[in-house]
Structure 1
Amino acid sequence: MNTLLSIETRNAVLLKMAVLLEREREVLIATNKKDLDAYNGDDVSMYDRLKVDNAKVDEMINAVKHLASQDDPVGVERFSFKHENGMQVYNKTASFGTVLIIYESRPDVTVEAAGIAFKSGNKILLKGGKESLRSNLKIVELWHEALQEFKASNQWVEYLQFNRTETQSFLEKPTQKVDLIVPRGGERLIEFVKTHATCPVIISGRGNNFVYVHAEADLDIAMKVIINGKTAKISACNAVDKVLIDENLPNKDTFVKNLISKLKTYNVEILGDAAISQFDDVDAFKSDAIWYEEFLDYKIVIGEIESTTDAIAKINTYSGGHSSSIISKNNDEAKSFMENVDTAAVYHNASTRFTDGGQLGLGGELAISTDKLHQRGPIGLQHLVTNKWYIHGNGQIR
């Protein structure tokens, strides 16, 4: 078992990572270019997540620097109680132990998610996708250099070069202790991990996020939020896939025409229900099953809805439990929507693209959980801990 590293050592390793990422910037981008050249898939969002450029390296450097500046999440007192027999009882945060992160095509996860788990006092096991192997191994090399600089064991960050069969076998019968598994990727990966894992799994689920344009919406805000949510980053799980437009919206036809026109400038494929598919440039969808789909593509479904109550019911039936937004000038309607929609993040007059650890004040995130235990939404530093009871006595017996 690795003894918990002091917070000074953990921070020093993170700051060293920032230096090393800057030093190896060109090498990392060149190494990633080999991964990009070898990628023969046609998944636009996968390619986008795989790519490491200067901006991505800047993000990695900022992530580890920010982590180093944050308070230690381990040993924080959550509760204290003085027993009538004189014992002093504390409940404090504690690291999980070993966290396995299984992910696809995202070399930045090898820095940011691993950094969060490391700062939280955990040993990290990384299992990345084969498409990003060169990039990931280069980053793990930097982790090891940073750890060695402060006489910490390389075992704190370990990369598992497993194929699918070996991964399944490890999930079912781990050859070392694993306390928590975090899958980062598409629904197939998450389902695979859930099916085979024998220890707790944090489900970083699908997006399929909705925007509801209420009858009392500010139409400029509605337009901005939908366009941003759909087109800013199609590979993000916080992107928008579905729009519900209140049938009582004043100037509804004009708004819909303007929205279609704007989406078309981004080459978004637009599918609509019976009411919306009457408009030019909108195709009718074949089946209601499309409401369940997460697109990760330049594709959107727009439908008409009768009321806030119906919008809530539709979102709760079809969404991935990630994010939803209401555009309305009516605060009571917005309150009702936000209280009753069953998603990890709910927005009023703002884009779902903010469901992100950095944007919501956590600094970064290990994952965005669509489960309700033990944490929902972005999982930041302060959430990647469990707890432990500390009881001090002087001979008390029961």
Structure 2
Amino acid sequence: MNTLLSIEKRNAVLLKMASLLQEERNAIIKINKTDLEAYKGDDISMYDRLKVDDSKVDDMIASATHLASQEDPVGKERFSFKHDNGMQVYNKTASFGTVMIIYESRPDVTVEAAGIAFKSGNKILLKGGKESLKSNLKIVELWHKALEANDASTDWVEYLQFNRTETQAFLENPTQKVDLIVPRGGERLIAFVKENATCPVIISGRGNNFVYVHEEADLEIALDVILNGKTAKISACNAVDKVLIDGNLPNKQAFIQKLISKLKEFDVEILGDEALSKNDEIEKIQSNDIWYKEFLDYKIVIGEINSNEDAIAMINKYSGGHSSSIITKNSAQAKTFMENVDTAAVYHNASTRFTDGSQLGLGGELAISTDKLHQRGPIGLQHLVTNKWYVYGNGQIR
């Protein structure tokens, strides 16, 4: 077991990592090009996540630097109690121990997620996808240089070059202690990990996010929020896939027409329910099962709904439990929606694209959890801890 590194040493490693990323910027981008050229798939969102350019390297550097500036999440007092018998009791945050991160195609995760887990006092096991192998190995090499420069063992960050069969075998019967697994990727990856893991798993779940245009919506805000959610980054789990339009919306037809033409500018495929597909430019959905699907593509489903209550019920049935937004000028209706929609993040007159650790003030995220234990939504540095009881006595027995 690795002894917890001092906060000074953890911060020094992170700052060294940031400077190495800057020094090796061109080498990382060049190596990433070989991964991109080798990628033969036709999944545009996978390709987008795989690509490393200057702005992605900037983000990696910013993430490592910001993490170094944050308070130590380990050893924070959460509760204290003086027992009648004189014992002093504290509950404090503690690191998990070893965190395994399984992810697809995103070399930036090798910095950001590993950095959060490292700053939280954990040993990191990284299992990236084969499509980003060369990029990931280069970044792990920098982690090892940063650790060595600070007289810390390179064991703190380990890359597992496993294929699917080897990964399954490791999950079922780990060859080293693993305290927590975080799968970051599609539903198939998450199902695979849940099925095979023998330790706790944080589910970084699917998106399938909804925007509800209430009858008292500001239509300009509605258009902006839907377009931003759908077209800004289709590979993001906080993208919008479904839009519910209140049947009582004034100027409903004009709004729908404007929305269609704006979406068409981005070549978004538009599907609709019975009510909406009367419009020639909207293809009728074949089955209600499509309401469950996360697209990660230029594709959207629009439906008509009768009330806020119906919108809430629809979202609670079909969404991925990630993010949802109501567009309305009526704050009481917004409150009802936000309190009753069962998603990790709820928005009033704002884009679901903000469900992101850095955007919500955490400085970065390990994952965005759609589970309810032990943390929901973006998991930042302060959430990647468990706790421990410290009890000080002088001979008390019970």
**TM-score if structure 1 supplies the norm length?**
1.00
Distance 2:257 2:276 in 1: 10
Residue 207 (str. 1) matches residue 211 (str. 2): no
Query: What residue in structure 2 maps to residue 56 of structure 1?
Result: 56
Instruction: Give how far 1:18 is off.
Output: 0.5
Aligned ranges for residues 132-281 of structure 1 at < 5 Å? Answer: 132-281=132-281
Residue 373 (str. 1) matches residue 357 (str. 2): no
Instruction: Give how far 1:16 is off.
Output: 0.3
Query: What residue in structure 1 maps to residue 95 of structure 2?
Result: 95
2:250 is paired with a residue whose SS is coil
Residue 36 (str. 1) matches residue 24 (str. 2): no
2:102 is paired with a residue whose SS is strand
Distance 1:88 1:372 in 2: 32
Instruction: Give how far 1:204 is off.
Output: 0.5
Instruction: Give how far 1:274 is off.
Output: 1.1
Distance 2:140 2:132 in 1: 12
Could you list the structure 1 runs, at least 4 aligned residues long, displaced by more than 4 angstroms after superposition. Answer: none
Distance 1:39 1:254 in 2: 43
What residue identity is the alignment partner of 1:63? S
What residue identity is the alignment partner of 1:206? R
Distance 2:35 2:227 in 1: 31
Instruction: Give how far 1:240 is off.
Output: 0.1
Cα deviation 1:225-270 (Å, max 9, x = unaligned): 0000000000000000000000000000000000000000000000
Aligned ranges for residues 19-34 of structure 1 at < 5 Å? Answer: 19-34=19-34
Distance 1:391 1:15 in 2: 35
Distance 1:292 1:66 in 2: 37
Residue 307 (str. 1) matches residue 327 (str. 2): no
Identity score, percent:
81
- Unaligned runs of 5+ residues in structure 2 are none
Instruction: Give how far 1:281 is off.
Output: 1.6
Query: What residue in structure 2 maps to residue 390 of structure 1?
Result: 390
1:253 is paired with a residue whose SS is helix
Distance 2:315 2:375 in 1: 21
Instruction: Give how far 1:279 is off.
Output: 1.5
Query: What residue in structure 2 maps to residue 119 of structure 1?
Result: 119
Instruction: Give how far 1:278 is off.
Output: 1.4
What residue identity is the alignment partner of 1:112? E
Query: What residue in structure 2 maps to residue 282 of structure 1?
Result: 282
Query: What residue in structure 2 maps to residue 14 of structure 1?
Result: 14
Distance 1:396 1:226 in 2: 62
Distance 1:226 1:169 in 2: 43
Distance 1:190 1:17 in 2: 29
Distance 2:229 2:165 in 1: 37
Residue 109 (str. 1) matches residue 109 (str. 2): yes
2:105 is paired with a residue whose SS is coil
What residue identity is the alignment partner of 2:324? S
Cα deviation 1:109-140 (Å, max 9, x = unaligned): 00000000000000000000000000000000
Instruction: Give how far 1:280 is off.
Output: 3.0
2:162 is paired with a residue whose SS is coil
What residue identity is the alignment partner of 1:58? D
Distance 1:317 1:17 in 2: 44
Distance 1:57 1:180 in 2: 27
Distance 2:136 2:112 in 1: 12
| Paired residues, number | 398
1:388 is paired with a residue whose SS is strand
Residue 360 (str. 1) matches residue 360 (str. 2): yes
Distance 1:77 1:381 in 2: 16
Query: What residue in structure 1 maps to residue 342 of structure 2?
Result: 342
1:228 is paired with a residue whose SS is helix
Distance 1:275 1:267 in 2: 22
What residue identity is the alignment partner of 1:381? L
Instruction: Give how far 1:224 is off.
Output: 0.3
2:210 is paired with a residue whose SS is strand
2:311 is paired with a residue whose SS is helix
**TM-score if structure 2 supplies the norm length?**
1.00
2:58 is paired with a residue whose SS is helix
1:107 is paired with a residue whose SS is coil
Residue 65 (str. 1) matches residue 65 (str. 2): yes
Query: What residue in structure 2 maps to residue 318 of structure 1?
Result: 318
Instruction: Give how far 1:70 is off.
Output: 0.3
Instruction: Give how far 1:346 is off.
Output: 0.3
